[in-house]
Chains A and B, each alone.
Chain A
Amino acid sequence: MFKETILKEIDDIKARYPDPKSALLPTLYIAQREFGWLSHEAMHVVAQSLNLPEAMVRGTASFYTMFKHKPMGRHLIQLCTNVSCMILGAERLVDFLKNRYSLEPNITTTDRRFSLVIMECIGACDRGPAMLVNTDFHDSLTEERIEEILEKYK
C-alpha cells in the first residue's frame, strides 16, 4: 500500500478531475516512481486508491510504453536509434554498451546499475546520437562521451 503522504498526493490529483478515471495516468506514474516499476501489486494498489477496475488499470498501463512492466536498474538509459541518430552512429553505441557494460536492449545489468531501453526520437536530431539517463538529457554522444557520462551514475 502507499504511504500516507503518497495517498495525499493521489487525493490531490483526484481532486483536479470530475472523474477518478482522469487521475489514472498521473497515479500510475506515482506508482512507478514509488515502486520502480508497475508490478501486479502496484497496479492493484492504484486500482484500489482510485476505485477503478483492475482490468482498466492494467489495460491503460500496458498501452503506454513509458510505463515499465518489469523491474529496472537504478539508472535507466534510453537511447535513440531513429534515423538521424542511427546515421550519426547510434547503433555503434548500442554495441559499445554491450561490450563495455554487458548491457543489451531491454536488459538490466547483473549489478542492477543500468537498464537499457531503445527509444524513439527524443527531438535532438541535430545533435545526435542522443539519450536520456533517468530524466537527464545527453547529446552528441560518442563512445568516450558515454563512458564519461555513465561514470556519474553509480
Chain B
Amino acid sequence: MSKPVSLKIDGRDVKVLEGTNLIDAAESSGIHIPNLCYLKGVRGIGACRLCLVEIEGMKAPVIACTTKVKEGMNVTTDTEKIREMRKFVIDLILSMHPLDCMTCTKAGVCNLQQYAYDFELKESTFTRKKFGFSIDEANPFIKREPDYCILCGRCVRVCKEQGTNVLDFMGRGVGARVITAMDKPLQESECTFCGSCVDACPVNALLEADRWRKGREWEYTKINSVCLSCGNGCDITVSTKDGSIVKINVGTEDSSVERYICAIGRFGFDSITADSRITAPLKRIGNELKETTWDDALKIAAEKLKEAGKGAGIVSTGNILNQDAFVLGKLASQAVKTKNVDTTVSLYADEDSMKYSDSVDIDSADLIVAVGINPSQWERVLPALDAGIRKRVARGAKLIVINNPSESPYTPLWKRGAEGDFKGGEGGFASIANINIRGDEASALAQVAKALKELAVSGQQSGSQEIKTSETSPIEQVVALFVKAQNPVIFTAPSLFNASVNIKLVTRHLSLVTPKVVAVPLEANARGVVSMGLIAEGKSYKDMVSGGAKVLYVIGEIPVNQRPKGVDFLIVQGSHMTEIAKQADIVLPASALLESEGTIINYLGRVKDIIKAIEPAGSAKQHKDIFIALSKAMGNPIRESKIKTVLEVKAKAKFSPFEKREGLDINPNEFIESINKHVINHSRLLWLKETEKVAV
C-alpha cells in the first residue's frame, strides 16, 4: 500500500500518495504545470521538456512528469528561469509548426496555441522549417497531418499501451515523424480506427477526417453519455452543433484504463441520421408497409396484443435502458397479461451470472483472471475490455488466462496471426498473460480451487501464514499470484460464472483477499434488464423467435433476420429498418442511441446515466413512452413510477459444481456484429467492414 507523502509546491502544503509524479501532485492542489507530452495514467517520458520545475537543493531544473514526490520536497513551478526555459521550448516547436490558427480546426483546444498565447509568442524567433510531409487521409475516420505534429509521442504511447501497436516514431531529431509500421496508410496498417490517438493529440496532427468546417470546439454542446453498442458500455462525450452530432470522443477520465472507445462508438453515429431510420409508424397493407398515425398503429397493435393475451410474446434486446425495461415488464404483466417476455440476454447469460456479479474497478485490479472470454479490439468484441486489460497489465497488473480456444465460443471468427502473436491470435490476450491455462475452463477452475484448499490445510498445519511458492505447475503459479494479490478480479464468461464464484468462496476460508467475480455480458445493459425483472417466466427468447408466439412484439434490433414461421402478427419497435422490421405487420419508430434518457448498469456493475444528446428522428419515441401509450390504447394504462437504479449486489454464497452452463454458447462475434448491423451498415463503418474483408 502506498504511504502518503507531504511536500510543498509553490508554498502550498500538498499531501499525495507515494509514487505520484509532480504533475499529478501539483494538479491535486490546483496548480497546472505546463506540458505537451504527459498523459495522465501513462508513465511520463519527459519528451517535451515543458514541465520543468525547480526543486530546492537541486542544481538544475528537473522534469516534473518523470519525478516522483519525496517527503519534504520543496517544489517551485513558476520562476523567471523556468518561464524562460519553457518559452524557449515553445519557441523551438513553433519554428516547425504551421501558424494557421485562424483556420485550424483544433483552435481553442490546441495545447500549443494556449502555451504560445501564455508565453506571448506570435511566431518563432528561429528560422521557419517546413517539411511538407504527405497527409494520410485515405480513410473516412482519421486524418493524419504530420506537418502539425510536435512529436510529443502521446499517440504512439496510447496506441502501444492499449496493445494496438500501430504507431511509432521514425527517424530522429527534427526530421522524426510518427508513422505506421511500414509507413503505410492507416487502413493498410493494423489500425482498428478506435481513435485513441485522436483523443490524445494535443494539436492538429490527428483529427477526425470529416471535421473540416464542421465548427470548432467552442461552438459545440458537450454531453456526457454512454455508448450502448456492446457489453462494455463505454463513457462517451458527444459534441453536438445545431441539434446534430458532430463527433464523439472518449468520455472516461484521463487516468483510467477504461479510457477507450472503439470505431463503432466513435464513428457509428452517422447511422442515427441514415435513410434506414424509421421515422413514422408503419402498418402493413397487402404487401407493403404504409405510413400511418401513432394512434392508428397503437390501436392495431393494442388490439392484437389484447386478443392474444397470455399467448402473446415479447422479445427485446439487452441494451434498452433500465426505465424502458421496467415499463416493459409492467406492460407485459399488467396490460398484455403475458408471462412470455424475454431478452437476448438469455442467449449468452443466465440469471445468476447477471444478478450476482460483483461491482468492480479495473483500475485498482492488480490480478486479473480471464476465464473463457476472448475480447478483441481487432474483432470489436468487447474491445474496451481487451484494451483495458492490456493497459492494466502494462501498468503492472498480473494476468491469468484460462481459456479453451478450440471450444470457446469466444474464439475469434477471423484469426489474425499465429498463436502467441502480440495482436492476440487464437488465444486472445494470452500472449501477454503471466500464466496461460489451456483446456477445459471448468476443470481448470476446479484444480485452482483444490490447490487453494490444500494451501489452507498446509497453512493450518504449520501454523504460519507463510505460503510456499515453489512455482512449478501453472496451477501452483496461479495460487502464488492469488496469495500476493491485493485486488484480484475474475472476468468470466457467463456460462462459467458459477464455477468462478467457487474460487471466491474458497478464498474466504483463507487469509487471502477475496476476488471480485464479474460475468461479462455482450450487451450494454444486460445486468440492468435482468435486475429490472426481464427474465423469462414463460416462453424463452429462443422459443419465441422460433415461432413460439402467435403474436410477437419485438423491441430493438434483435439478431433475427427472418420473420419466425408460425407468427400470425408481428409488431417491431425499433430505430432502424432491419430485415425483420421489413416483414412486420406494424412498425413502431423508436428513438435510437443517444436519443433516449435513462440509466444502465454496465458490466462492471456501475449505474450510468444515459443523457439524451439529440431529439429523436421524425416522430420516433423512447421505448418506455411507446409502452405507456400502448397500454393506454389497450385500456389498461400503466404509469411510469420512479425506479430505483442503485445496484444491489447480492452475494452468492453456495458452491456450485465446476461445470460450464449449457445453452449459452452463442458466438459473441456474430452476435455483436448482428445487433450492430443497423449501425455498421448505415454509417461509414461499412467502408471499414468492406476494407477489412479485403485485408483478410
Contacts and interface: CB of A to CB of B under 8 A. Distances in A.
A59 B182 contact: no
B421 A59 contact: no
A52 B165 CA distance: 9
B564 interface: no
A63 B421 contact: no
A58 B182 contact: yes
A71 interface: no
Given A56-B165, A59-B170, A62-B171, A51 B182 contact: no
A69 to B, nearest CB: 10
Interface in A95-153: none
Contacts of B414: none
A54 interface: yes
A55 B180 contact: yes
A54 B422 contact: no
A55 B421 contact: no
A53 interface: yes
A96 B279 CA distance: 80
B181 A58 contact: yes
A8 interface: no
B693 to A, nearest CB: 22
A40 interface: yes
A59 B159 CA distance: 14
B213 interface: no
B169 interface: yes
Interface centre among B167, B182, B189, B421 (most CB of A within 10 A): B182
B168 interface: yes
B171 A55 contact: no
Nearest to B166: A55
Contact of B167 (A43, A47, A55, A62): A55
A44 to B, nearest CB: 8
B637 interface: no
Given A63-B169, A63-B171, A58 B422 contact: no
A56 to B, nearest CB: 5
A62 B181 CA distance: 12
B182 A56 contact: no
B172 interface: yes
B165 A53 contact: yes
B420 interface: yes
B179 interface: yes
A106 to B, nearest CB: 15
A58 B160 CA distance: 14
Contacts of B182: 40, 43-44, 54, 58
Given A59-B170, A62-B171, A54 B181 contact: yes
Interface centre among A40, A55, A57 (most CB of B within 10 A): A55
Contact of A51 (B171, B172, B420): B420
A59 B172 CA distance: 9
Q: Do most interface residues of chain A lie in helix, strand or loop, or is the interface mixed?
A: helix
Given A40-B182, A54-B182, A59 B420 contact: no
Nearest to A50: B422
Interface in B291-328: none
A58 B179 contact: yes
Contact of A53 (B169, B171, B181, B420): B181
Interface centre among B170, B179, B181 (most CB of A within 10 A): B181
Contacts of A52: 422
B172 A63 contact: yes
A14 to B, nearest CB: 13
A44 B183 CA distance: 13
Interface in B155-192: 160, 165-172, 179-183, 189
A116 B422 CA distance: 38
Contact of B168 (A40, A44, A53): A53
A36 B296 CA distance: 78
A56 B153 CA distance: 13
Interface centre among B160, B169, B179 (most CB of A within 10 A): B169
A47 B182 CA distance: 12
A25 to B, nearest CB: 15
Contact of B181 (A51, A55, A63): A55
B422 A59 contact: no
Nearest to B431: A51
Contacts of B421: 51
Contacts of B171: 62-63
B179 A59 contact: yes
A40 B180 CA distance: 12
A59 to B, nearest CB: 3
Interface string A2-35: 0000000000000000000000000000000000
A39 B431 CA distance: 27
B434 to A, nearest CB: 13
A81 B422 CA distance: 44
Interface centre among A40, A44, A47, A54 (most CB of B within 10 A): A54
Contacts of A62: 169-172
Nearest to A57: B181
A53 B179 contact: no
B549 to A, nearest CB: 51
Contacts of A47: 181
A51 B168 CA distance: 16
Contacts of B172: 62-63
A55 to B, nearest CB: 4
Contacts of B166: 53, 55
Contacts of B179: 55, 58-59
A58 B165 contact: no
Contacts of A43: 182
Contact of B422 (A40, A44, A51): A51
Interface string A48-88: 00011111111100110000000000000000000000000
Nearest to A65: B172
Contacts of A63: 169, 171-172
Interface in B444-470: none
B621 to A, nearest CB: 48
Contacts of B420: 51
A47 B431 CA distance: 15
Contact of B169 (A40, A54, A59): A59
Nearest to A51: B422
Nearest to A61: B170
Nearest to A64: B172
A52 to B, nearest CB: 7
A58 B176 CA distance: 12
9 contacts: A40-B182, A54-B181, A55-B180, A55-B181, A56-B160, A57-B181, A58-B181, A62-B170, A62-B171
Interface of A: 40, 43-44, 47, 51-59, 62-63
The 10 closest A-B pairs by CB, nearest first: A59-B168, A53-B165, A54-B181, A55-B168, A62-B170, A55-B181, A59-B169, A62-B171, A40-B182, A63-B172
Given A53-B168, A53-B422, 6 more contacts: A43-B182, A51-B431, A55-B179, A55-B189, A56-B168, A63-B171
